[in-house]
Amino acid sequence: MSRRIYIFDTTLRDGEQSPGCSMNLQEKLQVARQLERLKVDVIEAGFAVSSPGDFQSVKSIAESVKNSTVASLSRALPQDIDKSWEAVKNAVSPRIHVFLATSPIHMQYKLRMSPEEVLERAKKMVAYAKQYCSDIEFSAEDATRSQPEFLYRVFEAVIDAGATVINVPDTVGYTTPDEFYELIKNIRENVSNSDKAKIAVHCHNDLGLAVANTLAAARAGATQLECTINGIGERAGNAALEEIVMAIKTRPQQFDLDVQIDTTQILRTSKLISSITGSPVQPNKAIVGSNAFAHESGIHQHGVLAEKSTYEIMTPESIGLSKNNMVLGKHSGRHAFEDRLVELGYNLTKKELDETFIRFKALADKKKVVQDADLEVLLQHKSVEIPEMYKLDRFVINTGNTITATASVRLIKQSEEEMLIEEVSTGDGPIDAAFKAVEKAVGANFTLEDYTIRSVTEGLDALGEAYVKIRSGARVYTGKGVSTDVFEASVLSYVNAINKMIYEETPV
């Protein structure tokens, strides 16, 4: 039978301590309710004594949450413990969390206490907290830089004093997985009463090992894993809840552990934290990054379309994402391109598909990501089959607010033999100059009835879609052009209108 693991979320306490991640009362309540939906076992709601605002938020969360234990952090001081109890006493399942440093460097320089004084304080304050609450957690701050034998003595004493959870924090992210595995194993073996308390771990990410260390500790026998959403926290952050949970869920044979988290709430929770704190999740962040279930490589796309498990070790649905994301870009293959068109409701012939794919690749060279709206435009602009008497070869435009706009346009004329025709013109602005150069190249004058351009998609590399209406005699012809360059889209639309005019006015 899999060993039960308890998830202790400290997003509202340790996570909020990271620079720029402070939250107001209503935001904290919103996060707490979402953590409850996520089914975390323990919510550390804050550090009640630190400020009136923190006290009020811990108190409000304790009174609001019904299905998770609510904890408040306290230094090993009576006034801290009193304040924590006052804040959590109305919780369905309250916990007081007491911490005291045990490493030589912290005892000497921060606490200015001897090891024996620390041992006595820890024992005394756990007993003091126990008068209020049956569920007491004790954390040995900077445990991974503490002397193991001293750590064993402290843990044994606080368990005797009533601690129900002993926490082994890697406060400065110093340890490594092998070391941490051995430390947890040795605590279990050398603390005579360790079977009377849960062993918890709390890892920081200063060396990028927080999740690896946490999982190593779980394998060694830790039963409570402390973490934050998106890994936020002081300095480089904490172990990320979503990474720990999905590692356990994805590799059951490796860990043989059971967590009660509702993983389908992971993405929703991640987005909520990112939105409230204003701390965006990096695109390549494991589990919840925007690229975590995105595929652009043609080889990968082909594999995933054939069988998802070729490149996805977990399903997007398992974290609350509706589906994976086939990113269409310059690395994408024909298979993914065709699949997306079918998804959008298009059923093209092989010839139409070949032509559209060529245009897609040309566009993908200009844009990082080709969006669905871009594809719609490509398909709308696939030519109604008319002969192209003129094709745009190249253009150069010089313009500014202190010079006369000048345009050089070179067209390819389709006749018995292709001809290159290049003309230069000035105008009242770059578009006027370009249109006049086109007119000179084709040897005709037209009346411009209308000209519009709009952005089809979003961002600096958005497609521009240009429309022109030109008059020749009594007839009006419409031309369309699309490009990431608005000048090119404009010239293409003008040439397209001229080709339509030539086609419709040429006798059959």
Domain holding 455, by residue range, is: 390-505
Q: Looking at residue 406, which CATH number applies to its domain?
A: 3.30.160.270
pLDDT in tens, 308-332: 667 677 888 898 876 655 556 666 6
Query: Burial letters for 334-355: b for 16+ Cβ neighbours within 10 Å, e otherwise?
Result: ebbbbebbeeeeeebeeeebee
Residues 456 and 316 in one domain: no
Residues 88 and 219 in one domain: yes
294 pLDDT above the threshold of 60: yes
302 pLDDT above the threshold of 70: no
305 pLDDT above the threshold of 60: no
pLDDT in tens, 333-366: 666 677 767 766 667 778 877 777 777 777 676 6
C-alpha Rg value of the chain to the nearest Å: 33
Q: Mean pLDDT for the chain? A: 88
Q: Which of 7-21, 76-90, 462-476 has the lowest mean pLDDT?
A: 462-476
Residues 249 and 335 in one domain: no
Confidence bin at 17 (pLDDT 50/70/90): confident
How much of the chain is helix, strand and coil, in % rounded to 5? 45, 20, 30
So what's the pLDDT on residue 449? 87
Higher pLDDT, 338 or 8: 8
| Averaged pLDDT, 201-220 | 98
pLDDT in tens, 136-159: 999 999 999 999 999 999 999 999
Q: Judge whether 154 and 119 are in contact, CB under 8 Å.
A: yes
Residues 403 and 343 in one domain: no
CA dist 32 → 84, 204, 436 (Å): 17, 22, 65
So what's the pLDDT on residue 126? 98
Q: In terms of DSSP bridges, do strands 3-4 and 6-9 run parallel, antiparallel, or are they unpaired? A: unpaired
Burial grade of 231 (CB within 10 A; 0-12, 13-18, 19 or more): buried
109 pLDDT above the threshold of 60: yes
User: Distance between CA atoms of 177 and 224, rounded to whole angstroms?
Assistant: 17
Confidence bin at 16 (pLDDT 50/70/90): confident
Inside any domain, residue 283: no
285 pLDDT above the threshold of 70: yes
So what's the pLDDT on residue 371? 65
Q: Judge whether 169 and 129 are in contact, CB under 8 Å.
A: no
Q: How many domains does the chain have?
A: 3
Residues 362 and 434 in one domain: no
pLDDT in tens, 255-274: 999 999 999 999 999 989 98
Residue owning tokens 């040995």: 140
Residues 31 and 72 in one domain: yes
Confidence bin at 6 (pLDDT 50/70/90): very high
